């Protein structure tokens, strides 16, 4: 799949070959999308990050449902991507039979449905929007994102004044860090599609300055995951711009290698004893212990895992961490690693299905024109790196953040060949 030829200008369908139904009800559709995206990016992303999940789900259900109701047919959907996801969902649903927490597994299976089905319907439905309507959406997204990023910069650089105001000067240090950590990874994912929107508005300098400036801002936050994600994305962007085939292969190797070697790498890190060094950050030291525990348990049920969402209920999951300054459960919620969580909960089979989906997505990105391809590959790399260190792989707000990035790339970015490009659109760099 990854070997598909990379094309600078892939032929696009003629305008009359696309379903025109979305354009016919643009007045109710566009205000709905803009009315939800604007406050989400400007307020929820920097200040109430958990609100991004209900926002995107509401957007997908209402707007995607509007598309279905008016067109009376399913929009064009990427079947090659939906097949591995459907099989992964089916495996997770069947695993309820052996998971130690069947009700949690059932809840997670239902969550996948109301996250992914409306999201894909929405992205497929707006595929028929013309560039004039996309231009209106781009302006709203860029302005809202700028406001949100400005608020987050104020919170990061000036001691979280808005957080303290909302908490009436209360809140623990851990809570304060969490209030910065989630927005930091949300912006780490969304900065790339917004950079592409700036490029398509003719602001090439801003398109490259934005992720670089945000990368510097992450250094002022407590989120090491955001720092790693932005560092990886910034290194990948020039490679993806000038050597796209190499960038695709590199990301494919990272993805497949992560699933193949996460267990031995976790054992190797634990064997080095870094978590016992007094100068080693506690958060990373605790992750090493979590990863070792998850790797050990993954080998006990290698093919189909312990069951969907079983991480928080793995036997001996509450044993006391050894060699660390604080005593806490080894894995209270999840492994803090996409690859280990997939191996632990759904085994080799579930991991293979996720790898299949990831490789198909990479192949699709690799066939895009230069600018969309480069920013999308940078976003892909940043997201994978964040998923290596932070949060549960199935957490709703995180999955919805990834879906929102896909929506911005697919639904808002300009489509060459559909209509005339907006005046001032930049030409690709030589």
Is pLDDT of 269 > 70? Answer: yes
- Higher pLDDT residue, 295 or 271? 295
List beta partners, residue 329.
320
- Cβ-contact 193, 373 below 8 angstroms: no
pLDDT at residue 128 in the model? 63
- Find the mean pLDDT for residues 140-146: 94
CA–CA gap between residue 252 and residue 362 (Å, rounded) = 7
- Give the Cα-Cα-Cα angle 268, 263, 304 (nearest 5 degrees): 165
Task: pLDDT band for 16, please (50, 70, 90 cuts).
Answer: very low
pLDDT digits (tens, 9 = 90+) for 33-69: 888 889 999 999 999 899 989 988 888 888 777 777 7
C-beta of residue 138 within 8 angstroms of C-beta of residue 203:
no
362 Cβ contact partners less than 8 Å away, ≥ 6 residues apart: 1, 2, 248, 251, 252, 255, 377, 380
pLDDT in tens, 323-344: 443 344 556 678 889 999 999 9
The pLDDT of residue 127 is: 67
Element (H, E) at 113: helix 102-125
Task: Please report which helix (H) or strand (E) contains residue 34, including its range.
Answer: helix 26-39
SS3 call for 216:
helix
- Give the pLDDT band of residue 123 (cuts 50, 70, 90): confident
| Mean pLDDT lowest among 131-140, 278-287, 315-324, 349-358 | 315-324
Q: Quickly count: other Cβ atoms within 10 Å of residue 298's Cβ.
A: 26
Given a cut of 50, is residue 421 above it in pLDDT?
no
Tell me what pLDDT residue 337 has: 92
At residue 197 the predicted structure's pLDDT band, cuts being 50, 70 and 90, is very high
Taken in order 421, 423, 429, 430, the sign of the CA dihedral is positive
Q: How many of the other CB atoms lie within 10 Å of CB of 245?
A: 13
> Is residue 426 scored above 80 in pLDDT?
no
Encode burial over 160-180: b for 16+ CB neighbours within 10 A, e otherwise. Answer: beebeeeeeeeeeeeebeebb
Q: Residue 429 pLDDT > 60, yes or no?
A: no
Q: pLDDT for 62-77, tens place per residue?
A: 877 777 777 777 777 7
Output the pLDDT for position 281. 60
Mean pLDDT of 166-172: 57
The sign of the torsion formed by the CA atoms of 417, 419, 423, 425 equals: negative
Name residues whose C-beta falls within 8 Å of residue 196's C-beta, 6 or more positions apart in sequence.
Answer: 207, 371, 372, 375, 376, 408, 409, 413
Q: Where are the alpha helices (DSSP H) in 302-415?
A: 338-366, 370-389, 396-407
Q: What pLDDT is stored for residue 413 in this prediction?
A: 72
Which of these, 105, 37, 117, 38, lies nearest to 77 by C-alpha position? Answer: 117
Structural domain boundaries in the chain? 21-412
Tokens matching residue 296: 């050990």
The pLDDT score that the predictor gives to residue 397 is 92
Nearest of 175, 194, 198 to residue 186 by alpha carbon = 194
Residue 354 and residue 220 in contact, taking contact as beta carbons nearer than 8 Å: no
Q: Kindly state the average pLDDT of the residues 369-391.
A: 94
Give the DSSP H/E element, type plus range, for residue 307: none
More confident residue, 19 or 338: 338
Q: In this predicted structure, which of 45-54, 219-228, 415-424 has the lowest mean pLDDT?
A: 415-424
Distance CA 286, CA 189 (A): 25
For residues 109-121, average pLDDT: 88
Q: 7 pLDDT exceeds 50?
A: no
Residue 10 predicted with pLDDT over 60: no
- Cα 294 to the center of its chain, rounded Å: 23
CA 242 from centre of chain: 24
Q: If DSSP codes are grouped into helix, strand and coil, which group holds residue 222?
A: coil
Q: Name the average pLDDT for the chain.
A: 81
Task: State how far the Cα of 47 lies from the Cα of 41, in Å rounded to an integer.
Answer: 10
Q: What percent of the chain has pLDDT over 70?
A: 80
pLDDT surpassing 90 at residue 392: no
Distance CA 44, CA 10 (A): 36
From CA 248, how far away is CA 371, in angstroms rounded? 14
**Rounded distance between C-alpha atoms, residue 105 and residue 117, angstroms:** 18
């Amino acid at each position: 799949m990854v070997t598909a030829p990379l094309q600078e200008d892939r032929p696009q369908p003629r305008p009359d070959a696309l379903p025109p139904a979305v354009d016919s009800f643009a007045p109710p559709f566009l205000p709905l999308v803009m009315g939800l995206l604007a406050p989400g990016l400007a307020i929820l992303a920097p200040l109430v990050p958990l609100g991004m999940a209900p926002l995107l789900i509401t957007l997908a259900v209402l707007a995607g449902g509007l598309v279905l109701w008016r067109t009376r047919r399913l929009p064009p959907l990427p079947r090659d991507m939906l097949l591995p996801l459907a099989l992964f969902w089916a495996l997770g649903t069947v695993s309820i039979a052996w998971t130690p927490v069947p009700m949690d597994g059932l809840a997670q299976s239902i969550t996948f449905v109301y996250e992914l089905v409306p999201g894909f319907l929405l992205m497929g439905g707006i595929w028929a929007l013309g560039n004039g309507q996309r231009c209106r959406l781009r302006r709203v997204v860029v302005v809202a994102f700028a406001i949100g990023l400005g608020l987050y910069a104020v919170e990061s650089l000036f001691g979280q004044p808005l957080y303290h105001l909302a908490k009436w000067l209360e809140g623990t240090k851990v809570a304060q860090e969490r209030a910065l950590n989630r927005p930091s990874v949300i912006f780490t994912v969304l900065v790339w599609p917004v950079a592409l929107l700036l490029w398509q508005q003719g602001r090439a300098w801003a398109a490259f300055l934005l992720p670089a400036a945000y990368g510097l801002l992450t250094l002022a936050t407590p989120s090491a995951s955001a720092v790693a994600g932005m560092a990886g994305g910034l290194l990948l962007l020039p490679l993806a711009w000038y050597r796209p085939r190499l960038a695709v292969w590199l990301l494919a190797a990272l993805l497949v290698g992560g699933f193949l070697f996460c267990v031995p790498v976790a054992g190797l890190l634990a064997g080095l004893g870094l978590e016992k060094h007094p100068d080693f950050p506690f958060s990373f030291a605790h992750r090493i212990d979590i990863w070792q525990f998850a790797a050990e348990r993954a080998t006990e049920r290698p093919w189909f895992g312990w069951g969907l969402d079983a991480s928080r209920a793995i036997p001996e999951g509450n044993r006391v961490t050894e060699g660390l300054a604080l005593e806490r459960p080894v894995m209270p919620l999840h492994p803090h690693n996409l690859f280990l969580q997939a191996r632990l909960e759904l085994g080799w089979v579930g991991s293979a299905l996720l790898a299949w989906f990831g490789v198909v997505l990479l192949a699709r990105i690799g066939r895009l024109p230069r600018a969309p391809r480069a920013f999308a590959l940078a976003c892909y790399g940043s997201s994978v790196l964040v998923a290596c260190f932070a949060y549960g792989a199935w957490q709703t707000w995180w999955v919805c953040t990834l879906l929102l990035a896909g929506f911005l790339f697919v639904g808002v970015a300009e489509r060459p060949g559909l209509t005339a490009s907006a005046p001032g659109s930049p030409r690709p760099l030589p």
